[in-house]
Chains A and B, each alone.
Chain A
């Protein structure tokens, strides 16, 4: 399942767990777990969040804006790309 999941992710423009679940005919919970496994195994990398950007601008009156737009991103790592090329 992980291999198929990685292939599907690389072919997607964005990550929607429900759409991946529909394509792979697996429950959404399992897809979520699969993404965690791919991150653990080093095939996907999670993007750094914006949560820590207010650490150095706490005195700025707009500091609270730092945490307002957290968008979760994933990228395919070199190991992931290498694996996909071998598919």
Chain B
């Protein structure tokens, strides 16, 4: 019968390359019994003898955390392999030797294949393999499996070791005095018992809290032995709650003592470009102003490119499509109401929303560049201190960032907050974020009243949304949701050059969402409102006597203190509860219907002043979330009460903000 060699190593250590190099095509693949882990086995000849190689799964340790680890551990402990070849990635030797340490603990006959030494050499690393072997108590053979270098030496060492007496370090690995004492004590209890595995290894595993080994021990002992074992074990466990940490740390200390001086690497440039950039971009004092500056630049570019360069094209395109559609309907002798619906409902309403697509494309392309570069994670970090200062944890900013796209996934993203207090606050402040659907509203009013200061107004609205969210977070945290702020650490990913594919996909996801909503929700809302605007028959369509006009007239007084107490604005806000884009679509329809050929922008200039436009934008930024968001709040909080609370309290805050701006502005003589 051929001797068996087990190949063990970390993932990507070159283990499979070594297996293929040794066995060539002479191997087969099956499964380990009872599990879905793949078992690769092959044979090769050396010195006239045939050897069987078993390629074990790639693992980092020999715990009981995964099926892969269990399979590898059980196979080595079964005594089936005559020798273990431990493939170690030379470029990452310290990490790989952790597994080696565990193999040595088992008392296995181990040969270390120090693989990829060519790559390590290109990184100017060098190894004193003799010292390494001496310190480990196991042969170390440099190899390059991909080039078949060192394989003969490796196999020769493995064969030599097979014939040697059982291996084992003269001095067992020390985990520190306090742990060693406990290992010895447990070892004494287990001495002479019929265990399948070495006593010391079993003792260490028990102190590590390995449930699998514990069951194995319990099954192997007589009831008297078990009683004695449980008594000692509980005593030790009660005295050392951090034993597992001490043991793992002991292995790392051992690895350090093995490699110290025997592995030479150039003085690494440990701080990367990412670290240097982060020193500036996440700076305690400059981080936040830099974030603000970056966002302001994004808006500035959005207006410069989206409005000035591409804006006219789409507006003209919508006009042309509207004209062509009307001409077609005229040639088809379509009824008058259908022509009116197409011109005023579809083109005036839905078309008004579509005109802002160029700006949205530019905005989300720029946001995609920031996100793909890794900067948005820094934005969350930079906001961390600010969030904490108002009693919120920094991670709360992550759902808020998602809310800049849409509040629905923003509310859902609060699931990442484990603490209910943090989560409830994050849900209730998310709708204050300027979601993508609010952008057309801002753009329409900016185009009408603040064309030269678009970026400033847009940026201010985003900032205002964040400030109101923080203020409300503070108030909610001190009233309805008292409690301690939980502490999180963010792992900042390295910066990278954004890929065109990711940026375009991010932009398209947003624009596609916008188009889908224009073609579904907005279309339905506008169709319904159009019917209400032309009924009942005999009254002037789009007039105050229409059903829509009467509804608007009924609610308009509520908004009079905010300066926009006309029925059209009221109806626009009302429709925005269905979907925020519907505000612009509704205004487009009701104003386009009053006088043929009147465009939304000029209609807004006639109906609003710069001051009332500002108060209207603040109202749309802060007031009641759309129904989709409210439904999500109900679902995520598990209560209709919180959805209702969100609808009412945010309306109140929006109204208060709008009234405040209008009244203060009026007192100051603005507008």
A63 CA to B63 CA, complexed, in Å: 39
Do B412 and A57 have beta carbons less than 8 Å apart?
A: yes
**Interface residue B384 (Cβ < 8 Å from any Cβ of A):** yes
Residue of B nearest to A3 (CB): B249
A41 CA to B408 CA, complexed, in Å: 36
With known contacts A22-B270, A33-B95, A12–B489 Cβ distance under 8 A: yes
When distances are taken between beta carbons in the complex, the residues of chain B under 8 Å from A82 are 241
Do A29 and B275 have beta carbons less than 8 Å apart?
A: no
Q: Which of B63, B242, B490, B509 contacts A83 (CB 8 A)?
A: B242
Residue of B nearest to A38 (CB): B245
CB B493 to nearest CB in A, in angstroms, measures 7
18 pairs from A and B in contact (CB 8 Å cutoff): A2-B252, A14-B381, A16-B275, A16-B278, A50-B398, A56-B412, A57-B408, A60-B408, A61-B512, A61-B513, A66-B402, A68-B506, A68-B509, A73-B488, A73-B489, A74-B489, A76-B489, A83-B245
A46-87: CB near B (< 8 Å → 1, else 0) gives 011110111011001111111011011111100100110010
When distances are taken between beta carbons in the complex, the residues of chain B under 8 Å from A57 are 408-409, 412, 632
Q: Which of B60, B245, B275, B282 contacts A41 (CB 8 A)?
A: B245
Count: A-B pairs, CB below 8 Å: 167
With known contacts A1-B256, A68-B371, A72-B491, A43–B245 Cβ distance under 8 A: yes
B-binding residues in A (CB < 8 A): 1-3, 9, 12-19, 21-22, 26-30, 32-34, 36-37, 40-41, 43, 47-50, 52-54, 56-57, 60-66, 68-69, 71-76, 79, 82-83, 86
Do B271 and A14 have beta carbons less than 8 Å apart?
A: no
Which 8 pairs show the lowest CB-CB distances between chains A and B? A61-B513, A62-B406, A61-B516, A22-B270, A64-B509, A65-B405, A72-B491, A1-B252
CB A31 to nearest CB in B, in angstroms, measures 9
When distances are taken between beta carbons in the complex, the residues of chain A under 8 Å from B270 are 18, 21-22, 28
Q: Which of B282, B412, B512 contacts A66 (CB 8 A)?
A: B412
Do A2 and B405 have beta carbons less than 8 Å apart?
A: no
With known contacts A15-B490, A53-B412, A47–B245 Cβ distance under 8 A: no
| B231-276 with Cβ < 8 A to chain A | 241-242, 244-245, 248-249, 252-253, 256, 265, 268, 270-272, 274-275
Chain B contact residues (Cβ within 8 angstroms of A): what range? 35 or more
| B14-70 with Cβ < 8 A to chain A | 60, 63, 65
Do A2 and B248 have beta carbons less than 8 Å apart?
A: yes
Do A71 and B409 have beta carbons less than 8 Å apart?
A: no
Q: Which of B60, B92, B245 contacts A36 (CB 8 A)?
A: B60
Do B490 and A71 have beta carbons less than 8 Å apart?
A: yes
CB B333 to nearest CB in A, in angstroms, measures 36
Do A62 and B275 have beta carbons less than 8 Å apart?
A: no
A26 CA to B416 CA, complexed, in Å: 32
**Interface residue B321 (Cβ < 8 Å from any Cβ of A):** no
Q: Which of A2, A9, A26 contacts B245 (CB 8 A)?
A: A2
**Interface residue B517 (Cβ < 8 Å from any Cβ of A):** yes
When distances are taken between beta carbons in the complex, the residues of chain B under 8 Å from A32 are 95
Do A60 and B409 have beta carbons less than 8 Å apart?
A: yes
A38 CA to B276 CA, complexed, in Å: 27
When distances are taken between beta carbons in the complex, the residues of chain B under 8 Å from A53 are 409, 412-413, 415-416
**Interface residue B377 (Cβ < 8 Å from any Cβ of A):** yes
Do B248 and A41 have beta carbons less than 8 Å apart?
A: yes
A13 CA to B628 CA, complexed, in Å: 36
**Interface residue B126 (Cβ < 8 Å from any Cβ of A):** no
B562-580: CB near A (< 8 Å → 1, else 0) gives 0000000000000000000
